[in-house]
Amino acid sequence: MDLPGTLQASIQHIGLLQDKRRRLTAALVGAELQFLVALRREYDTGGVTWTQLSLAYRALAAGNLRGTHARWMAAMPVGPASINANAELEAAALVGRSWRGRWPLDRDGEHAESYPPAGQRVVYVLWDTEAVPVRLGTTNHCQHRFATHAAKGLRWSRWNAVGCADRAQASSILRACRARRKAR
């Protein structure tokens, strides 16, 4: 192409960026495929919940990469519509359910403990060794939230959590709990 100097340099720059975008897209597709293989393995062994599958699909779809849906459908035996419907049913079954444990979590002890599944909205209370609440909060990922609290130096020995339908319900319960604490 015969263009004046500055335009020629600009068009070369555009060509370099287009090549870089093609390489990056290929790397992203490769990463998606690796993720989908690992996710399928977890799905086949029952290692993921419907909520986690829904979160996984949304995370991949958020990249707006052409062909993501087709790659998902080639790798997974269920599509996003079924996953989302099952995730809603799963979440409804967990509303009102409670979890409790010690910190750090005792997964292998006499009374094996587990966190609420990732994606499940809960209201939680962290208790110190004297059964005094040290933190009252809400999250949709207890394991991550508790690790963050611990990393910031918060100390507790036990915790309780109750499942909520959504953030609005969790906020309402949280406000009521805080109001009761202030009334004491």
Q: What is the pLDDT of residues 137-172, one digit of tens each?
A: 999 898 889 989 999 999 988 888 888 888 888 888
**4-51 confidence digits (pLDDT tens):** 878 888 898 999 999 999 999 999 999 999 999 999 998 888 788 888
Higher model confidence: residue 94 or residue 19? 19
Higher model confidence: residue 114 or residue 134? 134
Tell me how far apart the alpha carbons of residues 70 and 75 are, in angstroms, rounded to a whole number.
9
Residue-wise over 53-71: b if at least 16 C-beta within 10 A, else e?
bbbbbeebeeeeeeebeeb
Neighbours of 25 (CB within 10 A): 13
Same-domain check for residues 74 and 149: no
Same-domain check for residues 101 and 40: no
Same-domain check for residues 23 and 75: yes
Count of domains forming the chain? 2
Quickly state the pLDDT bin for 110 (edges 50, 70, 90). low
Higher model confidence: residue 113 or residue 73? 73
Residue percentage of the chain with pLDDT more than 70: 91
Domain that includes residue 74, residue range:
5-90
Same-domain check for residues 25 and 48: yes
